[in-house]
Each structure stands twice: as C-alpha cells, then as structure tokens.
C-alpha cells in the first residue's frame, strides 16, 4: 500500500511538471506567432513605402 502511494505521488508530480511545460510551450508558441505576424507587417510597410534600407 505504501509503495502504491509513492508511485501515485511520483506520477502526479511528473504529470504536474509536464502539464506546466506544455502550457509554457503553448504560450510561447502563440507569442512567437504574434511576433512573426508583426515582423511581416513591419517588413511589408517598409518595403511598400519605398524605404530601401530593409
């Protein structure tokens, strides 16, 4: 019974850590997509406005 509780505790800790990492990666993925879109918009504005220092 004691071994079962230890195994359940270890599994709970592993799931907690992986769940937190997955949420962090998901958040960073959205941040990366937003930054990519902003970079494309700025590039297009500079390219279309005639600024050749792109």
DSSP 6-28: HHHHHHHHHHHHHHHHHHHHHHH
Query: Does residue 1 register a pLDDT over 70?
Result: no
Q: Count CB neighbours of 46 within 10 A.
A: 13
Query: Does residue 54 register a pLDDT over 70?
Result: no
Give the pLDDT confidence score for residue 51 in this predicted structure.
Answer: 62
| pLDDT, tens digit (0-9, with 9 covering 90-100), for 4-53 | 888 888 988 888 888 888 888 888 889 999 999 999 998 888 888 876 65
- Run of H or E including 46: helix 2-48
CB 46 within 8 A of CB 54: yes
């Amino acid at each position: 019974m004691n071994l079962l509780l230890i195994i359940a505790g270890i599994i709970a800790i592993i799931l907690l850590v992986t769940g937190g990492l997955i949420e962090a990666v998901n958040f960073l993925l959205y941040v990366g997509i937003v930054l990519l879109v902003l970079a494309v918009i700025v590039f297009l504005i500079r390219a279309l406005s005639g600024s050749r220092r792109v």
